[in-house]
């Protein structure tokens, strides 16, 4: 792990959030290695157990991935999150135009709305 441009041994020195972020990065690398023809990346609540610094790092990494793959015809990114700040960070990066918000109305029926960032 690199923090403040210094490489650190992770054993016993990382917070739970840093370990979670490292786990996400490793999973992304593995999925990229084993599924070169598959363009779907799905993350379910990726900011759980992350502190603000690591959420920012994850958002920046996802922006890099989006920029790298935006011209691929089969690239799809699905992020399931309740973290409005994380969503806002992705929107500020100006790499996506829309997102889909799922909510419930007064009768508990699902509402799916396409919204601009």
CATH number, domain of 28, equals: 3.40.50.300
d(CA 31, CA 40): 10
Q: In terms of DSSP bridges, do strands 76-80 and 40-44 run parallel, antiparallel, or are they unpaired?
A: parallel
Structural domain boundaries, residue 72: 2-116
Mean pLDDT calculated for residue range 33-52: 82
Distance CA 74, CA 40 (A): 7
pTM of the predicted model as reported, rounded to 2 decimal places: 0.70
The average confidence (pLDDT) of the chain is: 85
Count of structural domains within the chain:
1
pLDDT of 7 > 70? The answer is yes
């Amino acid at each position: 792990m690199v923090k403040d441009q210094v490489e650190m041994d992770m054993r016993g020195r990382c917070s739970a959030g840093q370990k979670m972020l490292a786990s996400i990065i490793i999973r992304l690398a593995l999925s990229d290695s084993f599924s070169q023809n598959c363009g779907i990346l799905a993350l379910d609540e990726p900011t759980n157990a992350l502190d603000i610094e690591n959420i920012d790092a994850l958002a920046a990494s996802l922006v890099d991935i989006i920029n790298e793959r935006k011209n691929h015809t089969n690239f799809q990114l699905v992020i399931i999150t309740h973290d409005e700040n994380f969503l806002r960070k992705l929107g500020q990066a100006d790499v996506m135009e829309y997102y889909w918000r799922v909510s419930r109305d007064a009768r508990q029926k699902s509402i799916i709305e396409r919204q601009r960032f």
